[in-house]
Amino acid sequence: MLRALVEYSERQLPDSEPGFKTREVRWAIEVAADGRFLNIIPLGDGKRGQDQLRCPDMHGMNAGGKSHFLVETVQTVALLFKTNEDPKKITNTEEKHKVFVDMLREAAMSSPVLAPLVRALETEQEFTLVHKTLAEHKAKPGDWIGWRVNGEDPRENPTVQAWWREWRRNDLGKAAVDRNDAMKVADGDMLCLLTGELVKPLSTHPKITGLSGVCGQPTGDVMVGFDKPAFGSYGLEQSANAAMGAEATQKYVDGLNDLIRNHSRKLGNSLVAHWFKNQVPIENDPLAFLYGLESEEQTEAAALGAARRLLDSIRSGQRADLGENHFFALTMSGAAGRVMVRDWMEGRFEDLARNVAAWFADLAVVSRYGQGQAPDPKFMAVCGALVRDLKDLPAPTVAALWQTAVQGRPIPRPVMAQALARFRVDLVDKDQPALNHARIGLIKAYFVRLNPEGGKTMTTYLNPDHPAAAYHCGRLLAVLANLQRAALGDVGAGVVQRYYAAASQTPGLILGRLTSNARNHLGKLEGGLAYWYENQIADVMSRLQDNAPRILDLEGQGLFALGYYQQLAALRAGSKKTASEPTTD
């Protein structure tokens, strides 16, 4: 996994280098050549800042921890604090500010382009203007801030970068002398786990950022770390237990941080970052079809059609480049300052396209109003169909469905049971929204993947020839419910609300009584409509004959639900009444 991240960084981030980091910078202080403050420049799109490459990073420095060089937070640079800030924190930040200015002054001796920055921070009038203007812009103390001198960013200046490299090299040398380094073996070198070369391993690794939305720390989380003696072995300390050189470490960290920023998607309480050996545009990305990124509202069979066209182009040789490609997907979250890897997948691009196409094909169901096929559901819509609110969705459930979609696995039985329970709740409670397409599609997909015959019997639309009696029991309940509605109108708690739960579990005990009572409803209808309903009941009964089960197990209840839903959609499609149908669940 880490090697794949290193390879991604080598292809996509050629400037990755120890001592530098990409940061989301929200502001820039613009100064003139003589150090006069000119303006505060907002960066980014208003929602997030601008990703800036090659920001000096103080990780691992002996004098570090007090302040980063050149690019720092608003709090450290301008001494801007939130209201009622802790006095101790203010004192510590004032010390960091002093270190920040001292480093700029030292660097300005070799890089005169930095001299205006020093003057702006050391001149009381100019510094006050910087502080006041940032407060007027409502900058947050934790926002990162950079500089502009005569319209140029000193961060990109080769002389400034060269000074930082030299300062860092000297500081690391001092740290090696001052530290009693228990990691040393032989001449201090170990085999790097990522490159196989002899290197001096880093004692601690830079942090992975961007996981705060999935239980991570705002300041970042460690992917590889050994901060307790119990985590070590063979007398090694810290990250010498997984020896990696500085350059390889920086590449995997930069690669993962870039993926989190630009190629990740939150799924429940986890974050999924995915990429390809050879990058592909979003219109050819099967996982984008799965997320539903190609459009806000997926139209009927849009994702399925796109996945099938992509798969056909690979198989026909038109897109041989994609056929030779590979995908990688990393599912992660934060856990007590560490990166928790929940899942790791890699494989052939063609297999991914085939599995995503199969996912949408297996989920395909008729629209609840019978007007064609329902829109392809986004992945999180499928997950959300299992719970009342997404915040109640367990992370293991999301992970199981993700593996099912990407790797073509069967639908787990507990997932189908959960979908069936929600389906039953929504039917019994009249205040619930209309029947959920993703939920019934998930129940259908369970049977499609349960056995080789599932794909033949579980069709998108009503299947009058289905071999299971449980399926026809569900059909019969749908016909009887429609008959009651036609005869009596809205009676509040009707047949479905009163009897669905019992009928779906013990149809042999319930459906006979409901069928007998149907005669009363038929008597209230006009001749033609009564005759039509008699034919509908007779058709279902001919399929069922005397085989109504007394008790249904979980699979039987799932078939009952599918029979009910598909028969209901067929009845609605044949009704003279018109109904407008929303495009999404």
Is the same domain home to 307 and 371?
yes
Residue 473 confidence (pLDDT) = 93
Q: Is 403 exposed, middle or buried (0-12, 13-18, 19+ CB in 10 A)?
A: middle
- Measured CA to CA, the distance from residue 513 to residue 477 in angstroms comes to 11
Residue 149 confidence (pLDDT) = 95
Comparing C-alpha atoms, which of 82, 71, 64 is closest to residue 49?
71
Asked if residues 300 and 374 have their Cβ atoms less than 8 Å apart, the reply is yes
Q: Is 113 exposed, middle or buried (0-12, 13-18, 19+ CB in 10 A)?
A: middle
The answer to whether the Cα torsion of 101, 102, 104, 105 is positive or negative is: positive
Stretch 410-430: mean pLDDT: 89
Is the same domain home to 439 and 562?
no
Percentage of the residues of the chain whose pLDDT score is greater than 90: 55
Question: Which of 461, 496, 518 is where one domain is finished?
Answer: 461
- Measured CA to CA, the distance from residue 303 to residue 266 in angstroms comes to 20
Residue 179 confidence (pLDDT) = 46
Tell me the pLDDT band of 492, cut-offs 50, 70 and 90: low
- Measured CA to CA, the distance from residue 114 to residue 388 in angstroms comes to 57
Residue 171 confidence (pLDDT) = 84
Residue 318 confidence (pLDDT) = 86
Comparing C-alpha atoms, which of 143, 192, 111 is closest to residue 42?
143
Residue 221 confidence (pLDDT) = 93
Is the same domain home to 457 and 476?
no
Contacts 24+ apart (CB under 8 A), 9-15: 9/251, 9/252, 9/254, 9/255, 9/258, 10/251, 11/279, 12/255, 12/258, 12/279, 13/251, 13/254, 13/255, 13/258, 15/53, 15/54
Domain that holds residue 142: 18-174
Residue 454 confidence (pLDDT) = 65
Is the same domain home to 466 and 450?
no
Mean pLDDT of the chain: 87
Residue 308 confidence (pLDDT) = 87
Q: Residue 334 above 70 pLDDT? A: yes
Contacts 24+ apart (CB under 8 A), 545-550: 547/469, 548/469, 548/473, 548/507, 548/508, 548/511, 548/512, 549/469, 549/470, 549/473, 549/507, 549/508, 550/506, 550/507, 550/508, 550/509
Is the same domain home to 90 and 222?
no
> Does some domain include residue 2?
no
Comparing C-alpha atoms, which of 216, 226, 297 is closest to residue 260?
216
Is the same domain home to 203 and 160?
no
Residue 62 confidence (pLDDT) = 54
Comparing C-alpha atoms, which of 443, 446, 414, 412 is closest to residue 426?
443
Number of domains observed in the structure of the chain: 4
Percentage of the residues of the chain whose pLDDT score is greater than 70: 91
Stretch 524-536: mean pLDDT: 86
> Does some domain include residue 385?
yes
CA atoms within 13 A on the CB side of 72: 24
Tens digit of each residue's pLDDT (9 = 90 or more) over 9-63: 999 998 899 999 999 999 999 999 999 999 999 999 888 899 999 999 988 665 5
Tens digit of each residue's pLDDT (9 = 90 or more) over 359-407: 999 999 999 888 889 989 999 999 999 998 888 888 889 989 999 999 9
Q: Residue 525 above 90 pLDDT? A: no
Q: Residue 295 above 70 pLDDT? A: no
Range from 182-186, 246-250, 272-276 carrying the lowest mean pLDDT: 182-186
Q: Residue 5 above 90 pLDDT? A: yes
> Does some domain include residue 12?
no
Is the same domain home to 151 and 193?
no
Q: At what angle do helices 302-315 and 349-363 cross, to 10 degrees?
A: 150
Tens digit of each residue's pLDDT (9 = 90 or more) over 127-182: 999 999 999 999 999 999 999 998 899 999 999 999 999 999 888 776 554 444 44
Comparing C-alpha atoms, which of 204, 172, 171, 200 is closest to residue 188?
200
Q: Residue 187 above 60 pLDDT? A: no
- Measured CA to CA, the distance from residue 504 to residue 417 in angstroms comes to 13
Tens digit of each residue's pLDDT (9 = 90 or more) over 69-122: 999 999 999 999 998 889 999 999 999 999 999 999 999 999 999 999 999 999
Q: Residue 300 above 70 pLDDT? A: no
Q: Which two tokens stand for residue 528?
A: 């033609």
> Does some domain include residue 63?
yes
Question: Which of 174, 195, 214 is where one domain is finished?
Answer: 174
SS3 of residue 585 by DSSP = coil
Instruction: Note the pTM of the prediction, 2 decimals.
Output: 0.82
Is the same domain home to 28 and 126?
yes
